[in-house]
Chains A and B, each alone.
Chain A
């Protein structure tokens, strides 16, 4: 593959030079003869894709005498984070393979060097132009394409013998095949996922950016596309409303989805033996144009910090050669970017590959500009709102536009760290002085000497705790004083706290405001803990009575919710509250009631979270109460009964006061747990509708990971949560200390 003719002159020269050197020092430095430029390549391919890539890498290593490529697999989920950390520190890869949409960020933050001009134009002709277009940022080529992914129409041949050519036809077929009561749908796609919606948006001539490259969502074309999809979902009702998780796969494999809009990865999820076909997305009858889905391109990119640019470019070219691509197409089942490969019979004769290739002509490269980050969350939010009927498309997009403006606000200006350093220094000095003064006390020194063995034994645990608890805490606290943009932290002082507490960016009653979320958190905590307490104590009282048969059985049964990991429970409840497939609505319908879209109104969504967390929380209170009840002599209640107390009065005047010493610490702990019950909120309602059921901890998470990586802002949230809970525990300490009883 690495023919000498194809190799750039520089490489050839260096090879000759090495050869000459070897001749000169023969016998003296034999290792130099074999000295090769070693390049590191990061990728996150798995399975057959990985095998195909590694085979190509192995062949390259075999043939080349000057270059050695070490391929390193990095998990997909950690890829960007590790790349962003490693490259600036100089221990990143020379080359990396990833989806193209981040290249704008990488170029802007100096992590990626464009290769414009380094590859002959004639050689670039071997790729589909759409895939090359995706890899251009700022008019410079930033990498070479390996494979592309786009959306097409999958259809069940048994239900749809010939795929529709237009959406009118599709709607007709789909309507015929849709049976809501049987959960049969004519068409299934993630209507609330902007990645999918973009196909319609561009099909209607919509755009994402204005002429100056700023995100712009509220255009008439965009509104029209949203109206169109809204009608598919809500008027024609041929598409299920909430398509989450692997529902598409399940429905299609069960023969309940006649047609599906999905990408090439779906091929691997369809069960064997299902007779299906793929077709280009049908033409939109209203606009007369086909939908134009995003295309994402796996590219191989060059690190800005690589010291072997020439060798690296050589490897990029080798790994994107037609032969390497053929291997990835046949062994790795990839849709490769090399045109010639698609002409080889093995690929040409695969009708599925042909359809994806055909659709490729009608695609839009996923924008690779950094500003795209601001589009996702507001756009997805608008989609969710429209699909559940909470807003008209125009209003939803206007709101999304407002939100983008809010998110795009420039980061706070850098602050002068000197005053902060002085304050921190004084605080540290004070702490050290205090510590030294205590150490200087003779009795303290004596105590330390006498307990030397105790200190030694406690040291490992103390050091471990410091490492595991204190270090992350301090790091988090420090981050709260910084702003993060484009992979770099800037010191902004207390600005994050000021922004959070003054709610500068949003109104006080907006779900994004700290105070709104704080109020929801307090409500959430109070109601949950009260419910846990009531249910837990009631069940404990019931289970205490000797006459309850199978008491041991019930005890185990009631402790079960506690024993199951809470995220599993949360996911199960999420499914139970699903609008179309959940058992809660099935039950309501069986009782003759209307199904409820649980996550489209604050109170129903809040209630779904509550029910889940009640289920999770009552066993703890029950166990604590059962334990405490054992310690209450039955005489006391009998004495009260003879003294004239009814069952309620006995509970109120005798049992409850005696349970209190055990229940108060449990309530305090339960409060802290519930206050930070991230899993339930994140997994059940996910903050829906529109972030209104978010609690502080999940809101902090969203700031950090869903909204343009505002780590500093999120850390400020986290630190405020810490101080709120610290204050709470201070307040309740008096309750915990043994009082009069």
Chain B
């Protein structure tokens, strides 16, 4: 159990800067997910914490003690690799016991601990098998087991589920979450899959281009994305973005775009902006005064819900509806949407930063 602190951590490969500078505070027992598109530097951060990669700059501390110059073996962290990295010449039991044997635990303690963890992960019957005799999911469990047996201060996961098929991934996700609830350890989890991030994390850090875009709870990230990148990255289907013009309108503001006419009670900065709308915040309306109107393109029914793809002005949008509602709309027909004011996300057209209303309250 430990906290992890990154202060000004950066990494260059030759002349290429992968990470300019990362500051991150991870409280004890947190399940922190580092998420971002591939190449954003999230794995590098993880490897720097593990000690597999040396930071070019900055300092990594575990429990307040700097480990920047320590070898991986002296950091008391465990890592689960994307490829599982099981030792192919060792049985499951030997894989699990390896770290314990290295630190010269008594054999009885090793046996007990391996049995316990094997039980916990449902590997009891597989202990004498070799990795090549296991399925993908079983290997993944062994890889986790190998981390768990050690009771490390910090768990590191490097996209551990990415090589599994969707069904298995969903199942293991739940197991992982349960595991965290059980172990209450500090875990740092790297993924490019925002659903994994949302479902697993206590805290999410969104990385892009080596820079932290936002750090917060899944809820915060979902409800108040700090910028257009985070808004687009978190949530599925992704948020719709419309270019809008904001003008003064009495005490409030008016927002206009082709197919959009909306009056807002608050004051928003005038000028061009980007309106972000989550697909499930688009509520179909028969009211002719509804602020959004567009044309239906395709309806994708997915059981009880359906994704309605259409266009507002020239911008393609996606709305998440119940299947019953979606069924009413034919392709090429007109559809109007209401939006709850709370559902509006406005971003600066150039910087992508989140805009706030009420700033002019003074």
Contact = CB atoms under 8 A, between A and B. Distances in A.
Contacts of A635: 81, 83, 85
Interface stretch (B96-104, B210-218, B277-285): B96-104
B89 A657 contact: yes
Q: Which of B78, B85, B99, B130 has the most CB of A within 10 A?
A: B85
Contacts, number: 66
A643 B88 CA distance: 15
Interface stretch (A206-214, A288-296, A309-317, A644-652): A644-652
The 10 closest A-B pairs by CB, nearest first: A635-B85, A639-B85, A643-B99, A644-B73, A741-B89, A657-B89, A641-B72, A642-B79, A644-B102, A642-B72
A659 to B, nearest CB: 10
A633 B78 CA distance: 18
A640 interface: yes
A658 B71 CA distance: 24
Given A638-B52, A639-B79, A644 B103 contact: yes
A658 B72 contact: no
Contacts of B72: 638, 641-642, 644
Interface extent on B, as a size class?
Answer: 20 to 34
Contact of A643 (B83, B102, B130): B102
A641 B52 CA distance: 8
Interface in B64-105: 71-73, 77-79, 81, 83, 85, 87-89, 98-99, 102-103
Contact of B81 (A638, A653, A658, A740): A638
Interface extent on A, as a size class?
Answer: 10 to 19
B42 interface: no
A654 interface: yes
B150 interface: yes
A636 interface: yes
Contacts of B79: 638-639, 642
Contacts of A638: 50, 52, 72, 79, 81, 85
Q: Which of B83, B89, B130, B150 has the most CB of A within 10 A?
A: B89
Tell me what chain A mostly uses at the interface: helix, strand, loop, or mixed. Answer: helix
20 contacts: A635-B83, A635-B85, A636-B88, A638-B72, A639-B85, A639-B87, A639-B146, A642-B72, A642-B73, A642-B156, A643-B98, A643-B102, A643-B146, A644-B150, A645-B73, A645-B98, A653-B102, A658-B88, A741-B88, A741-B89
B85 A740 contact: no
B81 A639 contact: yes
Nearest to B53: A638
A631 to B, nearest CB: 11
B4 to A, nearest CB: 15
A642 B67 CA distance: 13
A334 to B, nearest CB: 73
Contacts of B81: 635, 638-639
A636 B73 contact: no
A271 to B, nearest CB: 59
Nearest to B50: A642
Given A645-B73, A657-B89, A640 B52 contact: no
B77 A642 contact: yes
Nearest to A637: B85
Q: Which of A636, A639, A653, A740 has the most CB of B within 10 A?
A: A639
Contacts of B156: 642
Contacts of B51: 641-642
A675 B45 CA distance: 53
